[in-house]
Structure 1
């Protein structure tokens, strides 16, 4: 990592949509990733996270909308590896090649001085394992090697897909501190995960998608206070319709109506305006993880 502060680059998604045939993997997705912060990109498996990141990196062509870094598409960046470092979950390594040689190949392809190879191996804790063949690496060591590759160009932007997958508890603690240090230097850090518990101690803000759509963008504190509202009424269908008209979402169950997207006060106002008497109105408190599950529900989209 560089010791001097650096100018980060804002990542901007605007109306991003991707369809595979009749299936919408990502739908009208818009959000911003600021510099100098760690942003968690969350959603259940199949929510569209990896497709979104691949569109950002020019690996998948959007059906419509844009994904830019400092106002430019990835393919238009003059020095891509010096601007954006990436580590996707599906990264592959030649099993017979050593970690050092793997990074040397990447450095040569990106026009990066070979001296960076030993530097990044040391940064990710693989300094003593650089001459070991990658085929003998554990999943956690492969994750570290992927991060080393992302750091080769000393980039201002890091895009990491499920970076803690396969790490032991010590490795998870290490990467949490490491990501915060990167952001403190002014870099832009976007980290995807399907589990809030994996990233909540390292992120400054979160973006949550479900079924390819944005369902939350903001702070962890806002997420905790923005969980579900439990409500009930003699006419549950009328209550659900009033909630939808007010901009919320409603799921009618045997126990009542589970509402997300608007708070309890807004539910009360909506019901009153629609002439729907309520028999129950209460915020559902269950901590961050419960709020996350309330927002994303059970489903997802490929």
Structure 2
């Protein structure tokens, strides 16, 4: 069974002239977990992955796999499997022939070609020309290429893009299986909703800078809003009491949404005013709201 090794980004920076595409990016991806690398389009995710894979030279800092730069790996294709969003295929070549070329170049057992195609569900279409493939099928072929060397580390850029609902469900479970086998799995996406059912950790960047790192649950906690929903059979009287107490609030369908006060404080205001309270509880931001708060309103969901 392939064993994963840590991926480490240390002070990684890339400038294109005056523009900093990635700035002082540092985080570690551990084996046995699925790590989501998130951020809006243009945040610097693909540039970071290209530096990790030796396709772009960093201005400063480093990106290593098990402490080694990609170009210095003794056997890159059996150590790291990568599928970048912009992967291209010869339209006149079959999926099987495409992978055979990769296997020969990487000195990989040719029997792995049909194994990889079977894993991603393309066995039936192995001899079909890639030019006739849908976007989702091309995504699966890219994933087959990443799995060709049975690597311990997987780096996947937007792997869910173009998949149908069945394909999305499949890849979510597949990513979990890869991590459970002890592999290191790093998955980029600009859509939190795509990966939130499959990742253990999230690393979020915006404008090339790290803005959040931690378990998926910490994203909800960090973005939790300091708001409380309170309601009363006499909502007008409750609103008047809150106004008299200089509380900041707005009327919502579920009740009155109060900002900046704790539930106990709101309950006391209602008690002093002699207003009956029918409900009183905190309102938490959802994961998507937390994501937007971190990356700005331009972030994609």
TM-score band, normalised by the shorter chain? 0.7 to 0.9
The size of the alignment, in residue pairs, is: 249
Deviations 1:190-216 (A, max 9, x none): 000001000000101100000000000
User: How many Å separate the matches in 1 of 2:174 and 2:180?
Assistant: 10
3-state SS of paired residue (2:103): helix
Q: Flag the 1:48–1:112 CA change in 2: closer, same or farther, 3 A.
A: same
The CA distance in 2 between the partners of 1:96 and 1:187, in whole Å, is 33
- What does the per-residue CA deviation read over 1:250-280, in whole Å, with 9 as the maximum and x for residues that have no partner? xxxxx9xxxxxxxx99xxxxxxxxxxxxxxx
2:292 aligned residue: 293
Displacement after TM superposition at 1:8 (Å): 1.1
Aligned to 1:179: 175
1:74 aligns with 2:65: no
Is residue 83–residue 155 contact of structure 2 (8 Å, CA) maintained in 1? yes
Normalising by structure 2, we get a TM-score of 0.80
CA distance in 2, matches of 1:22, 1:230: 39
**1:141-188, Cα deviation, whole Å (9 max, x unpaired):** 000000000000000000000000000000000000001000000000
Q: Shift in Å at residue 298 of structure 1? A: 3.0
Aligned to 1:196: 192
Corresponding residue for 1:86? 82
- 1:155 alignment partner, one of 151, 157, 172: 151
For residues 220 and 113 of structure 1, what CA distance do their matches in structure 2 show? 38
Q: Kindly provide the CA deviation profile for residues 98-145 of structure 1, in whole angstroms up to 9, marking residues without a partner as x.
A: 000000000011001110000000000001100000000000000000
Equivalent of 2:13 in 1, 11, 17: 17
Counterpart Cα distance in 1 of 2:200 and 2:176: 9
- Aligned ranges for residues 122-137 of structure 1 at < 5 Å? 122-137=118-133
Pairwise CA RMSD of aligned residues?
A: 1.9
Q: After TM superposition, what 4+ stretches of structure 1 lie above 4 angstroms from structure 2? A: 228-231
Task: Give the one of 93, 98, 104 matched to 1:97.
Answer: 93
Q: Which runs of 5+ in 1 are unaligned?
A: 232-254, 256-263, 266-282
Aligned residue in 2 for 1:113 = 109
Give 1:230 deviation, angstroms: 6.3
- The higher radius of gyration belongs to 2
1:48 matched to 2:44: yes
Return the alpha-carbon distance in structure 1 between the equivalents of residues 284 and 102 of structure 2: 48
Query: Partners of 2:164 and 2:57 in 1: how far apart?
Result: 35
